[in-house]
Amino acid sequence: KLQLMESGGGSVQAGGSLRLSCVASGYTIRRYCMGWFRQAPGKEREAVASAFRAKEVFNTTHYADSVRGRFTISHDNAKNTLFLQMDSLKPEDTAMYFCAHGPLGQSKCGDLNVWGQGTQVTVSS
């Protein structure tokens, strides 16, 4: 059974940086779609960044407008780990951050049906 575990959250002042990690366990992942999401109290869940891996190539597919240029999604496939590097953090980035996993079809990602427990990011001004 595939499981995801996020880590790396914490409290940071505006302008600071954090690096989130999402470790996948259960089986080795070679071909997949994954993404980072966040949800703040009283707000809907927001897609932050997404990517897929196919033919041993990692491809970034999307960044939310609110984070583009500040956040970077990356991976270490040998360690079954997905990362989210967050720079120039703003108070509005405060949220619970989740990673999610789903199957990759021929040309489209399936539903992201495996989720981690989340890691809290708090940015103070």
pLDDT tens-place values along the chain, 125 residues long? 899 999 999 999 999 999 999 999 987 667 889 999 999 999 999 999 999 988 888 898 899 999 999 999 999 988 889 999 999 999 999 999 999 999 998 878 889 999 999 999 999 99
DSSP 8-state class, residue 68: T
Reduced to 3 states, what is the DSSP secondary structure of residue 28?
coil
Residue of 45, 33, 37, 3 whose CA lies nearest to 20: 37
CB 112 within 8 A of CB 100: yes
What is the C-alpha R_g of the chain? 14
In this predicted structure, what is the pLDDT of residue 8? Answer: 98
What is the rounded CA–CA span in Å between residue 99 and residue 105? 19
What is the rounded CA–CA span in Å between residue 7 and residue 36? 12
* Total Cβ atoms within 10 A of residue 36: 27
